[in-house]
Structure 1
Amino acid sequence: MNKIILVIEDQPEIRKLICMTMDYDGFEVHEADNGDTGLKMIKALRPGVVLLDVMMPGQLDGFQVCQHVRADAEIAATPIVMLTARGQQTDLEEGRRAGCDDYLTKPFSPLQLIETVERLASSATRRR
């Protein structure tokens, strides 16, 4: 299982909470505070799972980052979990259209986050 996790979240407090939650069992956690940097880090790190905020400043929001990943054959299989306060059905559908593997609405439980990451990281290992 690829234990590299990339957290792409613009709010430092939320990013810290996510990183603290995932800092266990040998996971290697990396951070980006915007979509542009996050996309570059996905290409460089090849993480086992990307935890991606939807609403971020800069050129790329979370949906756009997800679309770019799915369009790039080298990184298209990277599991992506959207993390967002936008929990309307239309938002969930937009996340699916962008290509995310899962969608967690803030606030989410740390246990739910851990279970989602472990499931996706394990399934990604079998797909690659």
Structure 2
Amino acid sequence: MNKINLYLLNEFTKHDRKIHGFKNLSFGRPIPLKSVFYFLGALGAMIVIRFIPIIGYPLKHIVPVMYLMIPGIITYSLSELETEKRNPLAYARSVLLYNIRRLRGISYYRGKTLNRRKGYKFYSTIQGGYLTFKEQNEEENK
């Protein structure tokens, strides 16, 4: 039996689901379903946090209109964010891990860690403003 290779376009069958209206009410423009879930998730999180004793104290004193405005702002910022066709949580995770690796001074190449060189010296702009690097021998490191 011969094996048949099937070729598939990844984005060909993927559609962004949108809501055009609710019952007899038309919204005027289609609203992505992801945005509705972002809004409901943010609103639900605010309501849950409101009833936690110490953390929810500031939320008990805000104007009730803010319970709609804050999730609306969060929804707008998440729906307009370009995340390279990933969900915003996966994108935020990758950005956070990238910044942690950058602060530690560790670079990765094909899954292996590479240590960055530390022997840089920067001369002032008065002296010409150039960057030099001095190779460190194995004997000097010991």
How does the TM-score come out when normalised to structure 2? 0.25
Higher normalized helix content (fraction of residues): 1
Identify the structure with bigger relative contact order (alpha carbons < 8 Å, sequence gap 6+): 1
Scaled by the length of structure 1, what TM-score is found?
0.27
